Structure 1
Amino acid sequence: MKHAIQTGYRTMGKFWRLLALMLLLGWGGQAYAQMVGTVTNLSGVLTARHPDGSTRIMSSKSEVLQGDTLITQSNTYARVKFMDNSEIVLRPGSEMVVKSFLYDAEKPERNNVAIGLVKGGLRAVTGLIGKRNHDAVSFDTPTATIGIRGTHFGALFCQNDCGGVPTSSGSTPANGLHVDVAQGAIVLSNPAGQQVFQAGQFGYVSNLNTPPVILPPAQGIPVTMPLSISKNAPGSKSVDASKSVSCMVQ
């Protein structure tokens, strides 16, 4: 009897160890994923796709995890505040990947942010990581990489899906990446070249094989957001560096 009980304990011990290993390697992977931000404003349907392929419907105050791909449906705007107080607002029909987000207040040399804009548009404001080291933050798009310089900027990537985006001329934006800078500066770079854009300037790059160019304001595409999503909490300061853009600031 004693031997049978001991054998049973060993069997149960192996079972629990195996279960813990399975949770660690796969089943419970999301439980160990790092939380990097929070959805603060939302209108419509926002989905998060995790690295393992699973998905969940997000709501206001939902946590954004390392590696998440955020997807906004039609008529959906979503605002996310990250751990370093940086903020991003997504337009409808957008897809953004949090490729990397490492924030260590005690060891800023370790900090790193890599965001991927797969489709659609966003507005972004620099947080503590970008203020300490602007080279630690980058936004990748299909046509160019966006580097920041203490920045509030907009980016819109069109691929035959920007028919509803308002423009000063009333025409549909050309396919490619459109940017506008409300504060600070950004650097657009790809294999064909590099260009710095200052506050108040607009830019465009059609594909990886053509260099980024500065556009006249009349030809620029401001990435606008509704005030109900992009407005700040009571008491925060407002910066209106571009009156044609609904600004989102810290």
Structure 2
Amino acid sequence: MTSQPRKKLPSVLRRPAGGMIQAAIAAAVLVLGVVSIPAAQAATAGHITHLSGTLSAKRADGTSKLLSVKSEVLEGDMLNTETETYARIKFADGGEVVMRPGTQLKIENYAYNAAKPEGDNIVMNMLKGGLRAVTGLIGKRNREKVSFQTETATIGIRGTHFGALLCQNDCGGVPTTGGKPPPNGLHVDVTNGSISMSNKAGTIQINAGQFGFAANANTPPVPIPPQQGIQVTMPNSIAQNKGSGKGIGKGDEVECKF
């Protein structure tokens, strides 16, 4: 009786059981290693130095916190001030921003290394409300690397102290010389230095003591006579150099996640 030659099994079936187990273990370790790698923490952009009222931050990772004096402000944070809340932020390069009540400000980008000016980059996006800002070292050595964006126009700085107010049917309490609420749009004033105000319809430069206005993104920014200009003002308690706060903002209170 003639014996039939044995058929060869496919190589995948002939693989030793030990080898298959080792491969499975290696794959599992690889997956676990990938899963266990923590996400990179957002860079610290600055700290809260003064606070009166309630300030919240929605972080880039989706978590939200109530902030207090000495709380960190991170790159990617969406900051929100509630009614009657003023908040002052000191950034790593020495720049400062004071937020008015009802303001939403996102720290889109913040990159600063004192020894590496080539990496400087600050982009802030004000979705609503108003602020005053004093630029820091980045604004002095890399002015083109600092910008404040709004839906109406973008503010570029020239080493300066300026105010910005974005009215969206919510500026009824802002005083004007005529007694009427300011028109909707972006209002700016410059105390020191100068700024550029630009959108797709045009660009203007505004110097110290001058005012500007952009009604919307499709209308060119225009200079405004001083007697008609809107100056963004802040209370003395926020302007003082001694950090303070009340309500959520007391310096001895901790941050609260929610």
Q: TM-score, with normalisation over the residues of structure 2?
A: 0.80
Offset at 1:233? 4.8
- Matches for 1:158-177 after TM superposition, within 5 Å: 158-177=167-186
Aligned equivalent of 2:8: none
1: distance between equivalents of 2:194 and 2:127? Answer: 22
Identity of counterpart residues, as a percentage? Answer: 55
For structure 2, the residue ranges without an aligned partner over 5 or more in a row are 1-24, 244-258
Aligned to 1:223: 232
Alignment counterpart, residue 36 of structure 2, candidates 11, 16, 20: 20
Choose the corresponding residue for 1:141, options 132, 142, 150: 150
SS of 1:150's equivalent in the other structure is coil
C-alpha distance in 2 between matches for 1:192 and 1:33: 35
Distance in 1 of aligned mates of 2:147 and 2:125: 8
Q: What residue in structure 2 maps to residue 209 of structure 1? A: 218
Please list the CA deviations of residues 32-67 of structure 1 after superposition, one character each: whole Å capped at 9, or x if unmatched: 221110000000000001123221000000000110
1:94 matches 2:103: yes
Give the Cα–Cα distance (whole angstroms) in 1 for the partners of residues 128 and 214 of structure 2: 15
Shift of 1:169: 2.1
Secondary structure at the counterpart of residue 52 of structure 1: coil
Cα offset, 1:165, TM superposition: 1.2
Rounded to whole Å, the distance in 2 between the matches of 1:16 and 1:37 is 35
Give, in whole Å, the separation in 2 of the partners of 1:107 and 1:181.
29
Aligned residue for 1:75, secondary structure, equals coil
Q: Match of 1:177, SS?
A: strand
Structure 1 residue identity aligned to 2:86 = Y
Quick check: which has more Rg, 1 or 2? 2
Letter in 1 for 2:203: Q
Distance in 2, Cα, partners of 1:185 & 1:176: 20
Gaps of 5+ in 1: 1-9, 235-250
Partner of 2:199: 190
- Tell which has more relative contact order, 1 or 2 (C-alpha 8 A, sep 6+): 2
Aligned-partner Cα distance in 1 for 2:240–2:211 = 22
Task: Please tell me the residue identity of whatever aligns with 2:36.
Answer: A
Residue deviations 1:151-172, cap 9 Å, x none? 0000000100111112222210
**Equivalences for 1:56-135 in 2 at 5 Å?**
56-135=65-144
CA RMSD of aligned residues (A): 1.9
Please state how far the C-alpha of 1:191 moved relative to its aligned partner. 0.5
**Structure 1, residues 71-117: CA drift from partner, whole Å, max 9, x if none?**
00000000000000000000000000000010011110110100111
State how far apart, in whole Å, the 2-side matches of 1:17 and 1:133 are: 40
1:231 positional shift: 2.3
**TM-score, length of structure 1 as denominator length:** 0.83
Aligned to 1:45: 54
CA apart distance, 1:18: 6.0
Q: C-alpha distance in 2, partners of 1:233/1:107?
A: 31
